[in-house]
């Protein structure tokens, strides 16, 4: 009898749900959220009921019976730095996710929604997360920012990046642990990471103030101007935070976080093209920085995430970085399958869930 697994992946601009029977995906749905829909919620946690009800509605309409699930996998959120692996959702994790103890991100909702769903079943089904965005494998030098009050932290698209890197290695007939890769997740947030023989030794903080700007995040900003704004009295703390994550980047410049719309308009409007190219430019520049981290010994550059479907963007990045290493493009992400396979490994008792 096949194990049935429900995977839930809340992102900044979408919520993805999928059902697997063992390794086989039998249902998948991407629910898009416009900037206007998201803007009505002051915090990530306040989106909990909205997103959960949409998920349950889509499952009902697809004829999926959640009571038949053997496990519910949620995308891991902003937790305390932890080792790579699969974790059962427990009280300590719920508290940190609800209180946004380590910061706000849509992925915080993954474990919360998964736990809420299984709590209504009463049949012993458990909720898990896997490879959350706070997987921390940074080298000591990568933690230094320039001031001791502001240490650099590991926040990146660990689940997708690890899955894509392992998939590339398998395609090459090699081990992930034997390769040096630069993996770029291009989505609502953008993370660029140096994978050195199976460990992510450096990455930009893809959430709130590091690396390239993205469809809705400001990335690294001129700190002097930012400090001046913070003490000007013009903006509250919450408003500044929203400028950094949620209302920054492309949506701040162009009023849209929909990169399909941006690409379409950029074909005819120089202003839209200018900011799309600027984002691509910043991604390429960050890739160059990670090449330096790996001392120039890079086996491949892997571009993934939803924006990797955009040929104008991937072409722009490739033109600037192909001199470093071959560029391979994996549009979309492998996060749903990665979540399911992590859950399946636990159900089959091939691995033990970790305790948060």
Same structural domain for residues 250 and 126? no
Residue 171 lies in a domain: yes
Q: Are residues 202 and 164 in the same domain?
A: yes
* pLDDT computed for residue 105 by the predictor: 84
Assess whether 224 and 80 both reside in one domain: no
Answer whether residue 142 is part of any domain: no
Give the CA diameter of the chain.
63
Mapped to the 3 state alphabet, what secondary structure does the chain carry?
A: CCCEEEEEEECCCEEEEEEEECCEEEEEEEEECCHHHHHCCCCCHHHHHHHHHHHHHHHHHCCCCHHHCCEEEEECCCCCCECCCEEECCHHHHHHHHCCCCCCCCCHHHHHHHHHHHHCCCCCCEEEEECCCCECCCCHHHHCCCCCCCCCCCCCCHHHHHHHHHHHHHHCCCCHHHCEEEEEEECCCEEEEEEECCEEEEECCCCCCCCCCCCCECCCCCHHHHHHHHCCCCCCHHHHHHHHECCCCHHHHHCCCCHHHHHHHHCCCHHHHHHHHHHHHHHHHHHHHHHHHCCCCCCEEEEEEHHHHCHHHHHHHHHHHCCCCCEEEEEECCHHHHHHHHHHHHHCCCCCCECC
Question: Per the domain annotation, does 148 fall within a domain?
Answer: no
250 and 176 within one domain: yes
Quick one: 298 and 178 in the same domain?
yes
Claim to verify: residue 123 and residue 191 sit in the same structural domain = no
Q: Are 67 and 123 in contact (CB under 8 A)?
A: yes
- For residue 353, being part of any structural domain is answered with no
Looking at residue 103, its pLDDT comes to 81
Per-residue tens of pLDDT for the chain, all 356 residues: 899 999 999 987 789 999 999 999 999 999 998 878 888 899 999 999 999 999 999 999 999 999 999 999 999 888 999 988 899 999 999 999 998 878 888 889 999 999 999 999 888 899 999 999 899 999 999 999 999 999 999 999 999 999 899 889 999 999 999 999 999 999 999 999 999 999 999 999 998 889 999 999 999 999 999 999 999 999 999 999 999 998 999 999 999 999 999 999 999 999 999 999 999 999 999 999 999 999 999 999 999 999 999 999 999 999 999 999 999 999 987 889 999 999 999 999 998 999 99
Same domain, 115 and 260: no
89 and 170 housed in the same domain: no
Rounded to two decimals, the pTM is 0.83
Structural domains of the chain, count:
2
**Domain of 79?**
4-136+335-347
The answer to whether residue 73 sits within a structural domain is yes
Is residue 150 a part of any domain in this protein? Answer: no
Give residue 346's pLDDT: 96
Residue 320 lies in a domain: yes
Listed residue (355, 332, 353) closest to 25, CA to CA? 332
120 and 233: one domain? no
36 and 119 inside one domain = yes
For residues 212 and 340, membership in a common domain is answered with no
Q: 38-66: string of b/e by CB count within 10 Å (b at 16+)? A: beebeebbebbebbbebbbebbeeeebeb
Strand partners, 200: 195
Note whether 108 and 193 are same-domain residues. Answer: no
Unique residue bearing structure tokens 């955009």: 310
Please check whether residue 311 lies inside any domain of the structure: yes
The residue assigned the tokens 């009295």 is 233
φ and ψ at residue 257, rounded to 5 degrees = -105, 10
Query: Per the structure block, which two tokens stand in for 228?
Result: 């001046």
Give the CATH number, domain containing residue 131: 3.30.420.40
């Amino acid at each position: 009898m096949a194990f049935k697994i429900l995977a839930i992946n809340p992102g900044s601009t979408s919520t993805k749900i999928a059902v697997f029977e063992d390794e086989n995906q039998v249902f998948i749905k991407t629910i898009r959220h416009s900037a206007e829909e998201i803007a009505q919620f002051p915090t990530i946690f306040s989106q909990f009921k909205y997103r959960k009800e949409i998920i349950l509605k889509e499952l009902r309409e697809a004829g999926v019976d959640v009571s038949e699930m053997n496990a519910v996998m949620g995308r891991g959120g902003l937790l305390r730095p932890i080792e790579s692996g699969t974790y059962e959702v427990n009280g300590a994790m719920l508290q940190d996710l609800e209180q946004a103890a380590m910061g706000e991100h849509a992925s915080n909702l993954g474990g919360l929604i998964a736990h809420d769903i299984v709590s209504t079943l009463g049949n012993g089904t458990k909720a898990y997360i896997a490879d959350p965005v706070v997987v921390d494998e940074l080298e000591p030098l990568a933690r230094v920012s320039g001031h001791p009050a502001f240490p650099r932290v590991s926040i990146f698209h660990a689940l997708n990046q690890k899955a894509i890197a392992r998939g590339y290695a398998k395609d090459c007939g090699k081990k992930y642990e034997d390769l040096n890769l630069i993996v770029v997740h291009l989505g609502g947030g953008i993370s660029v990471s140096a994978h050195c023989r199976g460990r992510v030794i450096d990455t930009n903080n893809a959430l709130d103030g590091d690396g390239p700007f993205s469809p809705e995040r400001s990335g690294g900003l001129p700190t002097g101007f930012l400090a001046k704004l913070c003490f000007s009295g013009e903006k509250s703390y919450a408003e500044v935070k929203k400028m950094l994550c949620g209302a920054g980047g492309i949506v701040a410049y162009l009023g849209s976080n929909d990169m399909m719309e941006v690409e379409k308009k950029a074909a005819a409007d120089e202003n839209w093209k200018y900011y799309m190219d600027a984002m691509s430019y910043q991604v390429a520049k960050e890739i160059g920085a990670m090449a330096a981290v790996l001392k120039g010994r890079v086996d491949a550059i892997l571009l993934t995430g939803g924006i990797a479907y955009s040929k104008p963007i991937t072409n722009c990045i490739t033109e600037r970085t192909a001199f470093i290493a071959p560029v391979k493009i994996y549009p979309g992400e492998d996060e749903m399958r990665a979540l399911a396979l992590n859950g399946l490994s636990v159900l089959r008792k091939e691995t033990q869930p970790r305790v948060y």
